[in-house]
Amino acid sequence: MRARLLFLAAVQAAMVFPVAAGATPLTLKIDYPGIVANAEDEISRITFDNGTASFDHEISNISPQLLQLTVLGTQLSELTLTAYDGSAALGSLLFDHVILTSVTHSGAFNEHVTFGFPASAGFYRVSYPGIAANAENQISSLTLTGSSAGFEHPISNISVELLQLTAAGTPLSAVTFTQDAGPFFGNLTFDDAIFTGIALSGGGVADPFEDVSLAFRTLAIQAPIQAVPEPASAVLLGCGILLAGRAGHRRRPATLVRTRLAVRVECGSGPMWAAATSRP
């Protein structure tokens, strides 16, 4: 117990700031569906978790419309956060079924936007290259800027190693954030990541957490995976629709003769035959 308390005290006191990754910060931009702003759509940071997000951007011509959407509770089909390295897009995070919950002034020319979105797939789990934790690795929230990220997760067996990496300024090849069931807005991989701070956060001695900060050189975003039918399923579906259309063809007026219709359907690599019997 004494050793645990000493370790927690060491983590709480550790706010080491080694040389940053040193790359030119990426640009983060917000896009609303069908709404075009006449001001810069660049944001400095976004904080999000399993259901809410917030960010700041410049006040522009669309500000009254955003305020109106907030008051009415109008749902937006999606809101897109795109990361750029110069003019090259590195990928986008897609937030579906967005409802703006607050739009307030955060400065003379800026506004603070908060929105909610469905949280059915679960939030991110963090994984470090070559380091396996024996405790839960799901994080509670993520703050992202053009050159850094901050998040919280439980203290575990790897906390000492993270503290050493922070003190030494050792870069990691990739720190990855993935979702359990999705992804529903996109997975993230930070390359050349350098830990810049680790500090003890809430939870107490029984269930402590640590706040982790890192700087990065590059960021890769894996777009959300959309469920699509497999090719074989699509072919069978098409054949089924065609057969149903043939079998349900309009019947002729009264006749005492039953007819049996053979239908030849090209499906997959060869023909498939089906029969439909009509009654008077």
Of 23, 55, 22, 60, residue with least CA distance to 38: 60
Q: pLDDT-derived band of residue 120, with 50, 70 and 90 as boundaries?
A: low
Nearest-10 Cα torsion for 126, 130, 136, 140? -20
Q: Is the pLDDT confidence value at 14 over 70?
A: no
**Tokens at residue 196, please?**
């810049």
Of 17, 15, 45, 21, residue with least CA distance to 210: 15
**Are residues 126 and 101 in contact, defined by beta-carbon separation less than 8 angstroms?**
no
Mean pLDDT of the chain: 75
Report the percentage of the chain scoring pLDDT > 90: 34
Q: Is the pLDDT confidence value at 84 over 90?
A: yes
pLDDT given for residue 24 in this prediction: 75
Question: Look-up: residue for tokens 């035959």?
Answer: 273
pTM, two decimal places: 0.70
Q: pLDDT-derived band of residue 157, with 50, 70 and 90 as boundaries?
A: confident
For 168-198, how does the pLDDT look when each residue is reduced to its tens digit (9 = 90+)? 998 998 999 988 765 578 889 999 999 999 8
**Tokens at residue 22, please?**
């040193």
Question: Look-up: residue for tokens 């979105």?
Answer: 117
For 228-276, how does the pLDDT look when each residue is reduced to its tens digit (9 = 90+)? 444 444 444 444 444 444 444 444 444 333 434 343 434 444 444 344 4
Collapsed DSSP state (helix, strand, coil) of residue 209: strand
Q: Find the DSSP H helices in 128-265.
A: 159-168, 231-247
d(CA 130, CA 254): 77
Q: What are the structural domains of the chain?
A: 27-116 (2.30.110.20), 122-222 (2.30.110.20), 231-278 (no CATH)
Mean pLDDT is highest, among 39-43, 132-136, 160-164, for 160-164
Q: Are strands 141-145 and 171-179 parallel, antiparallel or unpaired?
A: unpaired
Q: pLDDT-derived band of residue 203, with 50, 70 and 90 as boundaries?
A: low
